[in-house]
Amino acid sequence: MNAHAQFRIDVKRLLTLAGQLFLNAGADAPVAESVARVLVEGELLGHRTHGVNLVGRYLDQLQQGQALGRSSEFEVLREGGVAGLFDGHYVLGPYCVERALAFASAAARQHGVGVGTVRRSAHIGCLAAYLKPLTDQGLLALVLSSDPSAALVSAAGGCTPVLTPNPIAAGIPGREAPILLDVSMSSVTLGLVNQYRLAGRKLPHPVLVSGTGQVSDDPGVMQEDPRGAILPLGGVAFGHKGFALGLLVEALTGALAGHGRKDRPEQWGAGVTVLVLDPDHFAGIEAFIEEMAVIADAVLASRPLDPKRPVRLPGQAGLGLRRAALEEGVALAPEVHADLARRARDAGLEAL
């Protein structure tokens, strides 16, 4: 028997418990369901730093008033036929993003494209966790985010932190499975840097720059004065590309949403923009899927650099983990399991 087998939990049961914990902490049903669904989905896809481990953090934020749990706090500032502007007022992020996606996907179904932008969302978890419900409907969806309260990533050729990692996530409908991508426009994320820092280790690649301009693999440069930065995707030689894309994400999120660095927010909060396209308003979903299948086949037939590591599509590994978890239950990390169990007990809920 596997040592971790005791922590394998039925997915429905986990969803129910997570939802109950948020209800118990004062969230209303739409928010609780949204948060539970997105955090569990992140866990299923193998994003264990952006999965059920966030349940406790989000509950703490609710209790401390850093995040709100009432869907009525989410404000529709402007809703046209295909363009929506929302103020999340720091409502728990998954609810904010799912509201924007609901708007944009309805718009896309009706008109071909829809865009929703949210200012002041609380933390939104794993971006890839939002995509499959859309690709399952034959929609192409993008989710972009930035955080105007933080500066971690340098400009190309600079060593001052000016941007956040600014991920671009996208779900692309496919024949057997969608392509799910979720990549930051920085070389690495702060989460990864912190993992190495806490472990007292150097990063595997020199993807940081010290505040005095030395390219570095030492997580400590992020704590020095002047503070260091994460290099944009592409590093020193090609960082103009990642930096340009990072600026594009800032433009599409904070600038479009009208709330960003100009407002000097001190509270962590995301600017999030979602873009949904319905291929049926262009050349049709059949042609779309056929084209993506031809590309996917060519990718999967690639000669691998390492014969032991066949080439895979973005999201393929995560979707495999997801299928297994739905069948066999999801294996939680011991500390995550313990935290959930304690919170369930404290709330008088049925233990896991």
Q: What Å distances lie between residue 282 and 4, 106, 131, 279, 285, CA to CA?
A: 48, 16, 20, 5, 8
User: How many CA atoms lie within 13 Å of 124's alpha carbon, on the beta-carbon side?
Assistant: 30
Q: Which of 247, 319, 325, 331 binds its own copies (CB under 8 A)?
A: 247
175 interacts with its own copies by CB under 8 A? no
DSSP 129: G
Residue 40 or 252: the one with the smaller Cβ distance to its own copies is: 252
Query: 76 has which bridge partners?
Result: 86
- Exactly one of 5, 29, 76, 298 binds its own copies (CB under 8 A); that residue is 298
Residue ranges in 200-229 that form contacts with its own copies under rule CB under 8 A: 204-205, 209, 211-213, 215, 226
Q: Pattern 89-128, binding to its own copies, x per CB under 8 A?
A: ----------------------xxxxx-x-x---------
Binders in 123-152 for its own copies, by CB under 8 A: 140, 142, 151
Q: Which stretch binds its own copies (CB under 8 A): 9-17, 30-38, 193-201, 293-301?
A: 293-301
> Does residue number 318 form part of the binding site for its own copies (CB under 8 A)?
no
The length of the chain is 352
Q: How far is the CB of 253 from its own copies (least distance, A)?
A: 10
Q: Do 5 and 329 touch, CB atoms closer than 8 A?
A: no
Assess 19 for contact with its own copies (CB under 8 A): no
- Kindly tell me which residue out of 5, 29, 76, 294 binds its own copies, with binding defined by CB under 8 A: 294
User: Cβ contacts of residue 32 below 8 Å, gap of 6+?
Assistant: 19, 20, 22, 23, 69
Residue 331's alpha-carbon distances to 57, 89, 158, 182, in angstroms, are 19, 34, 42, 23
**Residue 295: CB minimum distance to its own copies, A:** 6
Considering the rule CB under 8 A, would residue 158 count as an interface residue with its own copies?
A: yes
**Closest separation between CB of residue 18 and its own copies, Å?**
29
Chain positions 34 to 63 lying near its own copies, rule: CB under 8 A, are none
Of residues 133 and 158, the one with the C-beta less far from its own copies = 158
Which among 64-72, 90-98, 193-201, 234-242 is the span making contact with its own copies, rule CB under 8 A? 234-242
Of 52 and 140, CB closest to its own copies: 140
Note whether 29 binds its own copies by CB under 8 A.
no
284 binds its own copies (CB under 8 A): yes
Does 309 participate in binding its own copies (rule CB under 8 A)? Answer: yes
155 near its own copies, rule: CB under 8 A: yes
Mark the segment that binds its own copies (CB under 8 A) among 4-12, 94-102, 165-173, 193-201.
165-173
Decide if 130 contacts 142 (C-beta within 8 A). no
Instruction: Report the distance separating Cα 170 and Cα 4, nearest Å.
Output: 32
d(CA 197, CA 221): 10
- Full DSSP string of 229-281: EEPBTTHHHHHHHHHHHHHHHHIIIIIHHT-SGGG---S--EEEEEEEE-GGG
Q: Are 148 and 265 in contact (CB under 8 A)?
A: yes
